[in-house]
Structure 1
Amino acid sequence: MDFLRPTTLDEAVAFKARRPDAVPIAGGTDVMVELNFDQRRPSALLDLTGVPELATPDRPSISDGWLSLGACVPYSKVITEFGAVLPGLAMAARTVGSPQIRNRGTVGGNLGAASPAGDCHPVLLAREAEVELVSERGTRRIPAERFYTGVKRNALDEDELIAGVRFPAVTRCAEQFAKVGTRNAMVIAVCSFAIVLRDGRVGAAIGSAAPVPRRAAEAERFLAAELPWEEGTALPGSLTRRFGELVASAAEPIDDVRGSAGYRTHALAVLARRTLTWAWDDYRSGERACA
């Protein structure tokens, strides 16, 4: 197995162009597990830890109406440095593994693995993020909802690398993320859900309950039309229940060792109701501002 270690982004994309079979590795929290269990034996690893362009910015910075996050920024820094402006992503990051894993793992790695159970995916979808891909041919950006193409499959071309993620800047928003697992920590989600209320718009997305992470589009449309945006009044139970039903209807779950399809459907409805209530309380109180 060859080990390729670029020190610049240009060098990294050049390596990837010459060796499209090379598997990118940053934190290694997914790739090394597969190697250790002999589930994968690539001919080359492309180490991205020495590429500074992929680890920046290390502080929130808005440019042209977008907030960018480098592919190799670790979860721990998402929590400490980006939590105030991307609270939903920080919430999801806190549920990832142990402190050691959060110090190593990255959002870019989560995207590259493209697992339906990836914790960051629902937040990226609900926040209408764009994934930035780079190759020797140039840079392209695609909406997160078009990035996931199947179970552990994504829209990367064989010569492309994930450079980062960017989020539209908004003047007012509230974000929540929640997941159900078989225990409280270091666990793969049985199901997960993210909601974003921003500038009169609603983002809602599910994880670990369909072949790919997906937005609950019907639930989004319903809630955007029914929320008392101007009045800021408390939400009636009928509204939260209907929202939960529509979120659950967007799922396409399976039975597996972590939970049954029926349980996932029920749990998503509960998560949707709870997170909507929390997010609405934040939104109408104005306690949490986003970038």
Structure 2
Amino acid sequence: MSQTTAPFHTPADLAEALRLLAAHPEAVPVAGGTDLMVAVNYRLTRPAAMLDLTRLAELREWTDEGDAIRIGSGVPYARITAELATVLPGLAAAARTVGSPQIRNRGTLGGNLATASPAGDGHPPLLATGADIEIASARGTRTVPVEAFFTGPKRSVLQPGELITAVTVPKAAGPQQFLKVGTRNAMVIAVCSLAVALDLDARRLGTGIGSAGPTPLTAPDANLIELPWGRTGLFNDALAEEFGRRVAAAARPIDDVRGTAAYRRHALAVCAARALRRVWTAAHGGSGR
């Protein structure tokens, strides 16, 4: 029995891509294909059509916007790690943990967001720093704060005919950390993950939690913990452990094949205390206390 091949659209630029997507809203955009093609190979999905984004030069560059970096949705993880580690250390650290070198050369931050998996490695650093997602369609462009982007497990605010074109991430204003717990050190889906960003100018703390809820999460109560800004001698283990408790309390984990809800909460508490000690130590010249 013969099988019909789904149409594969190959636009030359962003304008053509948006026109094609408006005419064929059922088409699934594909850049690196590191998530989509796995699902296709396992027959978990069968797109009615695909829209190839690999020729769109507009999506494959990043630009310095002054106080932020605008990253095209087609920029692969390998370039984020190699080119942006100084200005976006948390995101670069997360990008470094994604899959294998081959996956990092193909996989993109835009694809990670479009998949909207609660376990996506790129999501916690974006939440911790307050990134914005740029979304385009034939109707125009809109910007969505990352904390409003995710609506459920593998669901987002993206509408038919829309395409993620860029992510704007504030430059680091202090030390950042990304910690990931998994069954091994590489090529693993996170049991849980955590990003912490310290903003020394605004005296603000940011958090992002992955793989411990129906969507990637922040820990608002943990963000408000009273740090001894400018008084390093008052930072102690009790403060770090309280931060860990607040992060764990913000999680909404479940039991699954990768870990139990109780283990995820415990691991997040440990990671959060460790991450806060590290960013505070880095900010104060090696003195964690």
Matched, 1:254 2:254: yes
- Structure 1 residue 234, shift from structure 2 partner: 6.3
Specify the alignment match of 1:156 in structure 2. Answer: 158
Specify the alignment match of 2:73 in structure 1. Answer: 71
Distance 1:30 1:185 in 2: 17
Is the CA contact 1:204–1:216 (under 8 Å) kept in the aligned structure 2? yes
CA RMSD of aligned residues (A): 1.2
Distance 1:181 1:234 in 2: 33
Is the CA contact 2:87–2:171 (under 8 Å) kept in the aligned structure 1? no
Distance 1:3 1:83 in 2: 35
Provide the identity percentage.
53
Distance 1:74 1:233 in 2: 41
Is the CA contact 1:62–1:169 (under 8 Å) kept in the aligned structure 2? no
Specify the alignment match of 2:64 in structure 1. Answer: 61
Is the CA contact 1:130–1:142 (under 8 Å) kept in the aligned structure 2? yes
Distance 2:139 2:282 in 1: 43
Q: Which amino acid aligns with 1:216?
A: A
Specify the alignment match of 1:179 in structure 2. Answer: 180
Specify the alignment match of 1:289 in structure 2. Answer: none
Unmatched tracts of structure 1, length 5 or more: 287-291
Specify the alignment match of 1:207 in structure 2. Answer: 210
Distance 1:49 1:232 in 2: 49
CA deviations on 1:234-291 (whole Å, 9 max, x unpaired) are 62111001000000000111111100111001000000011111111122239xxxxx
Q: Which amino acid aligns with 2:129?
A: R
Paired positions, count: 279
Specify the alignment match of 1:91 in structure 2. Answer: 93
- Structure 1 residue 229, shift from structure 2 partner: 1.6
4+ residue segments displaced more than 4 Å: none
Unmatched tracts of structure 2, length 5 or more: 1-5
Structure 1 residues 234, 101: CA separation in 2 closer, same or farther (over 3 Å shift)?
farther
Specify the alignment match of 2:83 in structure 1. Answer: 81
- Structure 1 residue 231, shift from structure 2 partner: 2.5
Is the CA contact 1:175–1:195 (under 8 Å) kept in the aligned structure 2? yes
Specify the alignment match of 1:108 in structure 2. Answer: 110
CA deviations on 1:3-50 (whole Å, 9 max, x unpaired) are 011111101111111111110100000000011000000111111000
Greater RCO (Cα-Cα under 8 Å, separation 6 or more)? 1
Residue aligned with 1:214, SS: coil
User: TM-score scaled to structure 2, two decimals?
Assistant: 0.94
Residue aligned with 2:232, SS: coil
Distance 1:31 1:90 in 2: 23
Residue aligned with 2:47, SS: coil
CA deviations on 1:118-140 (whole Å, 9 max, x unpaired) are 00101100010000001111111
Specify the alignment match of 2:275 in structure 1. Answer: 275
Residue aligned with 1:209, SS: coil
User: TM-score scaled to structure 1, two decimals?
Assistant: 0.93
CA deviations on 1:158-205 (whole Å, 9 max, x unpaired) are 1110001002346x3111000100111100000000000012111011
- 1:126-145 equivalences under 5 Å are 126-145=128-147
Q: Which amino acid aligns with 2:31?
A: A
Distance 1:67 1:77 in 2: 13
Structure 1 residues 3, 234: CA separation in 2 closer, same or farther (over 3 Å shift)?
farther
